[in-house]
Amino acid sequence: MKFLIIPAALAASLLVSGCTTSSWIQAAGGVMQAKDDYDKQARHQRIRDANAAAARARRQ
């Protein structure tokens, strides 16, 4: 019985919110794009930090 309540509650909340499927997909796409952008920025920062550390080590 519990396995029917959760999907029913989810469906009801989607209907009440007034959002369409495409708006949910668009929102999910925006979240995934933001996560990808953050991961890319963090990766580039780690590379810059590693290069700076290597440059300092070469100078010493």
Strands (E), 1-60: none
Nearest-angstrom CA–CA distance, 31 and 33? 5
The confidence score (pLDDT) of residue 18 equals: 72
Per-residue pLDDT of the chain (60 residues; tens, 9 = 90+): 566 787 777 777 767 777 677 887 888 899 999 999 999 999 999 999 999 999 999 988
| Prediction pTM value | 0.59
Q: pLDDT value at position 1?
A: 58
d(CA 44, CA 50): 10
Q: What is the pLDDT of residue 24?
A: 77
Number of neighbouring beta carbons within 10 Å of residue 14: 13
Tokens representing residue 47 in the block: 């590379």
Side-chain-side CA neighbours of residue 23 (13 Å)? 6
